[in-house]
């Protein structure tokens, strides 16, 4: 394991891919069945680290089919795959470029009411944020171009043949937008959920696993793959209870610059997710990778102020942050320091990134992405909020003094 490899893997996760200069560092990690995939993104050569046998949305990333907005992402992705398919092609990537209107046509455009068109276009934006679809400047006008995203290049495994046969069967039949989610996609998505993460990291893993019996070895590999591919936290009951096996899971994650993060009481966590190790997060921030722009930071600060900071001062600190009570959209719009257009646009972008959750009439809460912060990273954010809300508090003055040398050192030379 090298520092360069850890950082390159983290860059790839944060940006979706890296440039070809990082290919050698990624190659050093491929013995853990992370496949180095060479692709192009907007006509530039890029490299990404895929999973051997990777499925449609990744293990644990299935969309709940019981709510119409939730089911739209896999349905919209299926529409893109249908519209961009090249007959006789063995893989859906790179496909052909089409328009958003052509994607909507796979559902029978004249049968879609405006609400469903809006939901589908919102799903396309969400898929664009995840690298599964490529849009031009987030444009979802009917004439705007769209194609499958670079992340699709990382899909791998025998299931690709099943997906291709499904697309062939659906090519001349309009997709059905059923709120229950039963729209033909289930056959492909079910195969995606059936991924065997134990097979994903097979091969000569590392000396740290050699001492384990095969069953424990596969358990550690499976848990690491599951944690890394899941959007939602993984229940503790689905992860190894043996401390030795869990230590191996943490070592596997560390190889990719990642760390396991407990949700709830650290002594008895309800579930686990993963985030960037503190040293890797600092390097990524220094390189400007994965940073929010100033406007979106302002909107996030407002959400955290109402959902985290204020409840904490009342002794009601949410744990995890995503479980916080929602703040009403109108309450955010009433804040005079940030223009309403900035707030509305920020809510949309942050929701697509999973940084906040926009539940429409039910309000806005911190999103699952914030549950991936380590304790040190969350403490830093909480201090930032305190610096804004109580600048003259003695505790805040001490925080400011402690930070001052670091801030002075970070200033560029005149």
The domain limits of the chain are 3-56+215-286, 68-191, 381-414
| CA gap 82, 149 in Å, rounded | 14
Torsions phi, psi of 355, nearest 5? -75, -35
Instruction: Please check the confidence at residue 383 and state whether its pLDDT lies above 70.
Output: yes
pLDDT at 400 (0 to 100): 67
pLDDT bin (cut points 50, 70, 90) of residue 196 is very low
Are the C-beta atoms of 202 and 65 separated by less than 8 Å? no
For 74-90, the pLDDT digits (tens) are: 788 888 999 999 988 88
State the pTM of this model.
0.74
Q: What pLDDT score does 343 carry?
A: 94
Number of other CB atoms surrounding residue 143 within 10 Å: 9
**Confidence category of residue 342, pLDDT binned at 50, 70, 90:** very high
Whole-angstrom Cα distance, residue 210 to residue 283? 32
What confidence score (pLDDT) does residue 389 get? Answer: 66
Beta strands in 162-229 (DSSP E): none
Q: Which residues contact 364 (CB under 8 A, 6 or more apart)?
A: 303, 307, 326, 327, 328, 329, 332, 347, 356, 357, 358
The answer on pLDDT for 117 being more than 80 is yes
CA 17 – CA 58 distance, rounded (Å): 16
């Amino acid at each position: 394991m090298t520092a360069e490899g850890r950082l390159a893997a983290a860059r790839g996760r944060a940006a979706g891919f890296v440039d070809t200069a990082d290919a050698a560092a990624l190659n050093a990690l491929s013995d853990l069945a992370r496949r180095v995939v060479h692709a192009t993104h907007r006509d530039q050569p890029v490299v990404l680290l895929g999973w051997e046998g990777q499925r449609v949305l990744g293990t644990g990333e299935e969309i709940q089919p019981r709510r119409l907005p939730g089911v739209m992402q896999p349905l919209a992705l299926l529409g893109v795959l249908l519209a961009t398919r090249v007959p006789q092609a063995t893989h859906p990537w790179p496909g052909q470029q089409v328009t958003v209107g052509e994607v909507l046509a796979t559902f029978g455009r004249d049968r879609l009411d405006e609400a469903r068109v809006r939901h589908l276009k919102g799903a396309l934006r969400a898929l664009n944020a995840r690298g599964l679809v490529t849009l031009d400047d987030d444009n979802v006008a009917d004439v705007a171009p769209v194609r499958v995203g670079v992340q699709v290049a990382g899909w791998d495994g025998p299931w690709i043949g099943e997906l291709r046969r499904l697309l062939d069967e659906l090519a001349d039949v309009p997709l059905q937008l059923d709120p229950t989610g039963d729209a033909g996609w289930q056959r492909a998505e079910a195969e995606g959920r059936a991924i065997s993460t134990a097979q994903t990291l097979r091969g000569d893993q590392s000396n740290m696993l050699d001492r384990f019996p095969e069953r424990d070895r596969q358990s550690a590999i499976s848990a690491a793959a599951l944690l890394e591919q899941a959007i939602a936290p993984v229940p503790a009951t689905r992860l190894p209870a043996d401390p030795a096996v869990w230590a191996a899971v943490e070592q596997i994650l560390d190889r990719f610059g990642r760390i396991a993060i407990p949700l709830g009481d650290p002594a008895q966590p309800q579930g686990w997710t993963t985030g960037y190790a503190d040293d890797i997060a600092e390097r990524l921030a220094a390189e400007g990778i994965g940073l929010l722009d100033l406007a979106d930071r302002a909107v996030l600060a407002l959400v955290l102020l109402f959902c985290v900071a204020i409840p904490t001062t009342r002794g009601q600190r949410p744990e995890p942050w995503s479980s916080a009570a929602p703040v009403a959209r109108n309450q955010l719009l009433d804040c005079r320091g940030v223009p309403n257009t900035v707030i509305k646009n920020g809510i949309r972008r942050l929701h697509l990134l999973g940084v906040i959750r926009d539940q429409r009439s039910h309000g806005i809460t911190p999103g699952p992405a914030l549950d991936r912060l380590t304790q040190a990273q969350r403490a830093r954010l909480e201090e930032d909020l305190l610096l804004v809300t109580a600048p003259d508090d003695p505790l805040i003055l001490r925080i400011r003094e402690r930070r001052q040398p670091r801030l002075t050192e970070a200033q560029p030379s005149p």
